Structures are given as C-alpha cells and as structure tokens.
Amino acid sequence: MEIRELDPSFKMSITISNQQSQMTLNSEIAFVSGDKLYVTPFEHNGVILNFNTGAVVISMIAYQEEKTPFLWKIVHINRETVDGVNYHVITSDVSGVKINRRENFRVFIGIDGKATILGKDVPFDVMIKDVSESGFAILVDITSQVKINKNEAVMIDFYDKTIDERFNLTGRVVRAEMTERYVLYGCRLLKDTGIMRKYIANKQLANRVNSNRKKI
C-alpha cells in the first residue's frame, strides 16, 4: 500500500526507536495530499515533537477496524502549517506491507505502577511502558534489587487517570533487555479476557478527546 491510498478512516501509530529505547505514539489522519500524509501533531508531555534528527528510526502502522494492518518500516516526519493549522507530515520511500499479527500494536502508556512476582509477596515499583492486545512491557530501575527470571509470572497493578480506571494484569516474562537506566521485561498475558482490546480502544478515544480540547 502507498501513503496516497490512506484516508481518515484509517487509525495510525508510529514507533520511534533508537539503540536504547522505543516509544509508540498515536495520531489522527487529517488528510492526504499526493504522497504526503497529514496528521494531528504528535505530542509528548504536552510538547509537539521534533523528528529532525538522524538518531532515531521511525516506523508506522495504519489499519482499519477488523482489517489487516499495514506497516511502513521507515517513514520521515516533518512539520508543516496549512491554512494556519499545524500538522506533522509523514512521507516514506518504501511501500506499506501487510502484517498479520495484531500483537504488533503497542500503545505507549508511561504510567507508574506496582508489580509482584507470583509466589513472592513483596511488591515493587515499575513503570508500565506499553501494552498490546497480547501483553505488556514494564521497566524496573536498574538499581533495584528485583530480578525477574524468564518464564516467571508477574502481576501488575496500575491506575490510568486519563480514563479513570484501575488495571490488574498477569503475564509471563518472555524477554528481558537492559538499558542504561532500566531493565525492560516483555510479558505475554496469561489469559486473554479482551481487557487489552477495550483498554487500547479507550486510550485511543481519550487521546482523541484530549487532542480536540487542545484545538479549541
């Protein structure tokens, strides 16, 4: 698929990666002009992001409900103003390819929470980095004495104030990666209750509402 074939009926997200970390952000498609995709500006902590750096790689996923998503492995993002409105403009030198696993969708969360290794009763502090329909990733400070082994089950508890809801999830550790500040643990949900699909949908709705408020 080419960028010019997209339209506002698609949902989309980008993943920004460097050697140490990655972040996934969502936005809304405003319109397409030629091979340029105009979207609501990406923000983090209330600041519009600047992508004019060669230090990161940016990929994009676009999808429609109940349809196969498309992945652009590398995209470029600049800022542009049209009729007084700010946009991020996405272009790519490659075509989008179909991906078949919905677990590729990851929504950045960045919320502090508590975790407990099943069989051990001592909770510890974590940050819930991101979630997908099949799992979640948590960050543990590298100075923490807590070490989680692969295949151990972890229960996390966190409150998302943007949608006023508390979550309690259990997953099994499938990977661990160390950065300068954190150890990242990727966990696969032990039970598919549909809670992640609902949560991701609610987060997308909350993001749209917040975005609309900022425009007023």
| CATH number of domain containing 40 | 2.30.110
Look up the domain containing 34 and give its range. 3-100
Angstrom CA distances, 159 to 14, 23, 48, 139, 195, stand at 24, 20, 25, 16, 14
Cβ-contact 122, 131 below 8 angstroms: no
Q: How far apart are CA 35 and CA 215, in angstroms?
A: 26
The two structure tokens encoding residue 90: 């996405």
For residue 55, give the H/E element and its range: none
137 and 194 fall within a common domain:
yes
15 and 81 fall within a common domain:
yes
Average confidence (pLDDT) over 18-42 = 86
The two structure tokens encoding residue 207: 């993001």
- Structural domain contains residue 163: yes
Please tell me the predicted confidence (pLDDT) of residue 91: 95
112 and 183 fall within a common domain:
yes
Please tell me the predicted confidence (pLDDT) of residue 137: 94
Please tell me the predicted confidence (pLDDT) of residue 104: 45
The two structure tokens encoding residue 47: 């600041």
* Residue 208: pLDDT over 70: no
Read off the pLDDT of residues 149-176 as tens digits, 9 standing for 90 and up: 999 999 999 998 877 788 999 999 999 9
Mean pLDDT, the chain, as a whole number? Answer: 84
Q: How far apart are CA 80 and CA 202, in angstroms?
A: 29
Q: How far apart are CA 137 and CA 189, in angstroms?
A: 10
Number of domains composing the chain: 2
135 and 92 fall within a common domain:
no
Q: How far apart are CA 176 and CA 82, in angstroms?
A: 44
Least confident of 61-65, 134-138, 161-165, 209-213: 209-213
Residue 47: pLDDT band with limits 50, 70, 90: confident
